[in-house]
Amino acid sequence: MPREKASRTSRPAARRVAVPERRPSRGKRERNKAQNRTEILAAAREVFTELGYDAATVRDVIRKTKLASGTFYNYFPDKESVFRALLRDSEERRLERMARVVPDPNAGYERYVRDAIRAYFEFVVSDRTTFDLLRRNAQTIRAFSTDPVFNEQARIRAALEQSMAAGTIAPADAEFLAQAIVGVTFEIAVIMVERDPIDVDAATSFVADLFSGFFQRYRLSGQPQGREVRRRPAARA
């Protein structure tokens, strides 16, 4: 008996192939992480400027973002860490700008000081938001000054002592002088940004001329008459 021919229309049942769930690419994940961190920092900058470090809370920062509350802790463990991140970001950008100021042996040390002061004031104007943060939290930042990342006075003092050792400027109390430079420059910046229009040239000239007079006095006399210049030993690590 002849075999029945299989119907041409019959087809084996199609096999279902499991399609793996598509996950964001590594590049996209990294971009999302960077965006989240940027959003947190922007919110923290606004909160710390408005409320001050002591009064602000992590909850205040989270409310300023569109992120889930737990997302904050994927990036920062507490409010101090996010505050330090803001300071570190500001300091890196400031130092990058200041690094462009290179001493010119033919122009003299005073010209270098003038150019460095101008670079600082220009940085303040270019990033007014961060400067407002620094103004609002000056006492807190001073408490963090033992951290080498934020200790501008120590950096200036080291540069002054190096210049004194090289004979570029006359010997003086480098610690006093460094603190004077930091304090005067910051306070003049506070006044400068409140004026309309902001005059970087006037602020630069005032501070530079102030310290140029100091350098000239020490260059002529070595040190004030009747006073012994004392250098405080560097703090131990």
Question: What pLDDT is recorded for position 104?
Answer: 77
Predicted TM-score (pTM) of the model is 0.74
DSSP letter string, 172-222: --HHHHHHHHHHHHHHHHHHHHHSSS--HHHHHHHHHHHHHHHHHHHHHHS
Give tens-digit pLDDT for 107-138: 777 888 899 999 999 999 999 999 999 999 98
pLDDT value for 227: 44
Greater model confidence, 71 or 218: 71
pLDDT at 65: 95
Tell me the torsion sign for CA atoms 95, 97, 100, 104: negative
DSSP E strands in the chain: the ranges are none
Q: Given the structure tokens 């004026």, which residue do they identify?
A: 195
CB 86 within 8 A of CB 48: yes
Neighbours of 121 (CB within 10 A): 22
Residues ≥6 apart with Cβ < 8 Å to 33: 75
Q: What is the pLDDT of residues 63-101, one digit of tens each?
A: 999 999 899 999 999 999 999 999 999 989 988 988 898
Angle at 163 between CA 156 and CA 105, to 5 degrees: 115
Q: Pull the structure tokens for residue 155.
A: 């950096």
User: CB neighbours (10 Å) of residue 104?
Assistant: 11
What structural domains and CATH numbers belong to the chain?
29-77 (1.10.10.60), 85-221 (1.10.357)
Q: How far is CA 22 from CA 17, 28, 151, in A?
A: 15, 12, 48
Separation CA 28–CA 37 (nearest Å): 14
